[in-house]
Amino acid sequence: MTSQAVRIGSLTLKNPILTASGCFGYGLEYDDFYDVATLGGICTKGLSLHPRLGNAPERICETAAGMLNAIGLANVGVEAFCTEKLPTLRSRNVTVVANIFASSVEDFVAITERLDREEGVAAIELNVSCPNVKEGGIEFGKDPRMSARVTEAVRKTTKLPLWVKMSPEAGDIAAVAVACESAGADALTAINTIRGLSIDVTRQRARLANSTGGLSGPSLRPIALRIVWELASKVSIPIVGIGGVFTANDAIEFLLAGATAVQVGTANFSDPRAARTIADGVRRYCEQRGVSAMELVGRARS
Amino acid sequence: MTQTKQARELITAPLLRRESIGEQYHVLTFDAPQGFNAHAGQFTMLRGAEWGDAPLLPRPMSFLTAGTTPSVLIKVLGEGTARMARAAPGEPFTLLGPLGNTWRTPSAGRRPLLVAGGVGIAPLLFFARELVAAGVRPVAIYGGRTARDLPLEDDLAEVADVHVTTEDGSRGRRGRVTDALPELASDETEIYACGPDRMMAAVAEQCVERHLRCDVSLETPMACGYGVCLGCPVPLVDGSYLYACMQGPCVDASRVAWGAGAHAPVRKELRGTP
């Protein structure tokens, strides 16, 4: 039996490969390349209550086997997503994970309420790596108590599966993970980017207008894999692994470490067909060994 | 600017030949039997198929020619272009395209004037060839720091009446393209410019003052090339951004806030110029 289907709580995905938020638009930009409905799912660009223009340029730069970004969460807003993007995704049977972010618990709830009225959202993923303006601007995701509070509030608002995306910058990421699990999260996505910096020695200033940016790409992968490995022994809910996955073997590493599904992010920029190619590679790996995708989960741990 | 509805294709194509022009500039031509139906102004995201993890991202490059032997002109600036400058025939590359919009069609009764700076010649040489094929031989100003910074000057001269400027006077008129612009532009002129930001900002300023239509082809960092990474915003005078990959790279220069964001130092230097 080499089924590629994986279960994340109550949600069954066709296969373990999803695309990561911020690295796949709204899933409608890939028509020229392949049918995105064949993926396990897509995570939307982070959605806020109101549209956001994003940061001034420069927003991105390449680093050693990676890139930094400080896009500033530019997005169309949840309303435009629901009316302009989601109907098409729904008609194409794309498994949509709506990634949302806010700077207050109330706004997280308001975005969730809006999404909850729509058909075609398979799950909600909370980006908690943003400052809580009501608590001194500390990122929700760095603090177990604040992470739990936003998780709990969203949990009460919707019956949709709820994933919380872990910030690797939390002092005690395991404590945040456990707090989110207790507060009702159905899965944890690990990990978000790690802040980095690159300086242009000719101009003698930071390359990004925001100075620092989130590091993604292969250079992030060993760190992400280690965090997935550690979290898998701390929580009993599924983990969705993410961090520098560029090949099928990279994705398989995450499954073997304990992730039940894997998100592909920056690789989409290097190759718009990356997620499809990786999903095919994982299937071949399973076929060659006569195992299902679920049977790979956590196998390197025992 | 004309948006096209062509399907984007991602192809792997071997390098057919690499022609060096001095040390810094190279024309890379690829063998792509399926062909790219690209037009002047559009670009490709180009990456060595065997680069592995580094350089990680493809590089945006204007098409110099399209069809079954698409080509680009590169200037060695960083690791990605340095790799391209060492590529040997047969080395596989991935090309994603055509991306972005095309140059705007010249208005009836107007004369196109092309203003190129260095490697910015690529989309303009392509455009000049399209104009000549349509029966219009354009006038062009081509500027560089020195005579060595004028790649493909002879090719441009075949399809345009070229006026050359160099900052050191080693070829053509001593000075910048903006020194030659006033006498070559009339009220019937429409400008098409591509070059360093500083050059385009200076050309745009002259054109705004004289109420001349001026389109520029913008160059910004970008990771994807098709509206997903949102890494290529260009600040506009109305306070919004446009994304160079999807709403550009060809843009009406009067819309661009040359003093904002990444362009701020450009504006400062402009003010300091007598």
pLDDT digits (tens, 9 = 90+) for B132-157: 999 999 999 999 999 999 999 999 99
Is B222 touching A (CB cutoff 8 A)? yes
> Could you tell me where the DSSP H helices lie in B34-192?
79-86, 121-133, 153-159, 177-184
Beta-bridge partners for A196? A213
Instruction: Give the Cα separation of A111 and A102 in Å (integer).
Output: 8
Domain A6-301 falls in which CATH fold?
Answer: TIM Barrel (3.20.20)
Q: Is B236 on the interface with A (CB under 8 A)?
A: no
What is the layout of strands, in order, in the sheet containing A66-69? A60-63, A66-69, A212-216, A194-197
Closest in A53, A61, A74 to B221, CB measured: A61
Please count the residue pairs, one from chain A and one from chain B, whose beta carbons lie less than 8 angstroms apart: 92
- Please give the residue that has the higher pLDDT: either A286 or B23: A286
User: CB–CB of A218 and B53 under 8 A?
Assistant: yes
Q: Do B56 and A272 touch (CB under 8 A)?
A: no
Chain B interface includes A69 (CB < 8 A): yes
Read off the tokens for A132: 């809580």
Q: Which residues of A touch B262 (CB under 8 A)?
A: 56-58, 209
As a whole number of angstroms, the distance between CA A9 and CA B64 comes to 52
The shortest CB-CB distance from B228 to any of A25, A32, A58 is to A25
Of B56, B58, B227, the CB nearest to A217: B56
Helix (H), strand (E) counts: chain A:
10, 18
From CA A208, how far away is CA B7, in angstroms rounded?
A: 32
CB distance from A247 to chain B under 8 Å? no
Q: Which of B228, B234, B247 to mutate to test the interface with A (most CBs of A within 10 A)?
A: B228
| Chain B: closest CA distance from residue A237 (Å) | 31
The C-alpha atoms of residue A251 and residue A278 are separated, in whole angstroms, by 7
A chain contacts of residue B229, beta-carbon cutoff 8 Å = 23, 60, 69, 71, 269
What does the mean pLDDT of chain A come to? Answer: 96
Please report, as a single letter, which amino acid is at residue B105. Answer: T
Angle between helices A173-182 and A221-231 (to 10 degrees): 50
- Residue in A61, A62, A63 to test binding to B, most B beta-carbons within 10 Å: A62
Q: Which residue's entry shows tokens 């005579």?
A: B147
Nearest-Cα distance to chain B for A247, in Å, is: 10
Annotated active-site residue A130? The verdict is yes
Label residue B274 by pLDDT band (50, 70, 90).
Answer: very low
B258: closest CA of chain A, how far (Å): 12
From residue B71, give the alpha-carbon distance in Å to each of A120, B74, B109, B138. Answer: 43, 10, 32, 22
Q: What is the mean pLDDT of residues B229-256?
A: 96
Identify the active-site residue in A43, A82, A130, A286.
A130
Q: What is the pLDDT of residue A133?
A: 81
Burial class (CB in 10 A: 0-12, 13-18, 19+), B213: middle
- Do the chains contact at A269 and B241, CB–CB below 8 Å? no
Q: Please list the alpha-helical segments (H only) found in A183-273.
A: 221-231, 248-257, 267-270
Query: pLDDT (tens digit, 9 = 90+) per residue, B183-215?
Result: 999 999 999 999 999 999 999 999 999 999 999
pLDDT in tens, A184-234: 999 999 999 999 999 999 999 999 999 999 999 999 999 999 999 999 999
* Cα torsion A293, A67, B44, B229: sign: positive
Q: Is residue B235 helix, strand or coil?
A: strand
Instruction: Calculate mean pLDDT across residues B48-75.
Output: 96
pLDDT for B130 beyond 80: yes
For residues A128 and A147, the answer to whether their CB atoms sit within 8 Å is yes
Question: CB atoms < 10 A from the CB of B78, how many?
Answer: 10
Strands (E), chain A: 6-8, 11-13, 17-19, 41-43, 60-63, 66-69, 96-100, 123-127, 131-132, 138-139, 162-165, 187-190, 194-197, 199-200, 205-206, 212-216, 239-242, 261-264
Mean pLDDT of A4-29: 97
Q: How far apart are CA B99 and CA B4, in angstroms?
A: 9
Q: What is the CATH number of domain B111-272?
A: 3.40.50.80
Integer Cα distance of B60 and B219 in angstroms: 8
Q: State whether CATH 1.10.357.10 applies to domain B9-99.
A: no
Give per-residue pLDDT as tens, B64-100: 999 999 999 999 999 999 999 999 999 999 999 999 9
φ, ψ of residue A128 to 5 degrees: the values are -100, 15
Over residues A99-152, the pLDDT tens digits come to 999 999 999 999 999 999 999 999 999 999 988 788 888 899 999 999 999 999
pTM above 0.90, yes or no: yes
Do residue B235 and residue A272 have CB atoms under 8 angstroms apart? no
Q: What is the mean pLDDT of chain B?
A: 92
Domain boundaries, chain B: 9-99, 111-272
> What is the spatial distance between Cα B122 and Cα B151, in angstroms, rounded to a whole number?
9
Task: Compute the distance between CA of residue B223 and CA of residue B47 in angstroms, rounded to an integer.
Answer: 11
A215 touches chain B (CB under 8 A): no
